[in-house]
Amino acid sequence: MTSMAPAIPAPTSDERLGAHLRGLRKARGLTLTQLAEAAELSHPFLSQLERGLARPSMASLERLARALGTSRVELIAGSEPPRHDHDAEPSFVLAGDGVVGPFAEGTARLLVEGRRRFEPMEFTGANAEPGDHYVHAEDEFLTVLEGSIVVSFGPFGERTMVVGDSVYCRSGVPHRWHSPDGTPYRLLIVKETVHGGADEAVEGET
């Protein structure tokens, strides 16, 4: 009688998040030490995070997100179980579904599940202050669905955008937006996707 091989346990959410962090770090060309310094975290703690042996606080996750040029909601999504649907099968996200979390100075709801070539999200905010400029390695598209915003592109200046206006932002361009009078607004943001390799086996530190 042929014996059955023991089933390999599925990765935990901490392990998926750790693998996602490691993949993003490598995609950015950063060592553990460089990312730890940029995020103002200890090297041993970051090593444990990447191995799924520690769980970050929201403050630590925000530091990592900024250092990696991403957001907390995208990092949180990286800890979700991956979809194994056939590539051609449509992926539906209903109105009340999707991973929701902090993004820039507001809240984002991811509009797709699993690994895709781009990452659409619905962003809502009402921030009267612009906050810090964000810089990331992926191209980004933005269109205004409700309200109006003032968008700043660092050395390229500012521009007011109203409903129906869109902008395409190349990778590496600093950008931020706000509603000067604090009026709520809603955006559709589409980013290129860099996958963090959540299905990879745990590797040695580099």
- Residue-wise pLDDT for 155-168, tens only, equals 899 999 999 999 99
pLDDT at 171 over 70: yes
| Closest of 180, 176, 186, 175 to residue 128, by C-alpha | 180
Mean pLDDT in residue range 171-178: 93
For 7, 16, 26, 48, 141, the CA distances from 53, given in Å and listed in that order, are: 21, 11, 19, 5, 36
Report DSSP state, residue 12: P
Q: Where are the domains of the chain?
A: 13-68, 100-192
Mean pLDDT in residue range 66-70: 88
Instruction: Tell me the CATH number for domain 13-68.
Output: 1.10.260.40
Mean pLDDT in residue range 79-97: 73
User: What would be the CATH architecture of the domain defined by 100-192?
Assistant: Sandwich (2.60)
> pLDDT band at residue 198, thresholds of 50, 70 and 90?
very low
Residue 181 CB coordination number (10 Å): 8
Lowest mean pLDDT among 22-31, 87-96, 99-108, 191-200: 191-200
Mean pLDDT in residue range 134-162: 94
Spatial separation of the C-alpha atoms in residues 24 and 154, rounded to whole Å: 25
Beta-strand relationship, 158-161 and 185-192 = unpaired
Mean pLDDT in residue range 118-146: 92
> Strand, coil or helix: what is 60?
helix
* Residue listed under structure tokens 């060309």: 29
pLDDT, averaged across the chain: 85
Report DSSP state, residue 204: -
Lowest mean pLDDT among 48-62, 69-83, 111-125, 162-176: 69-83
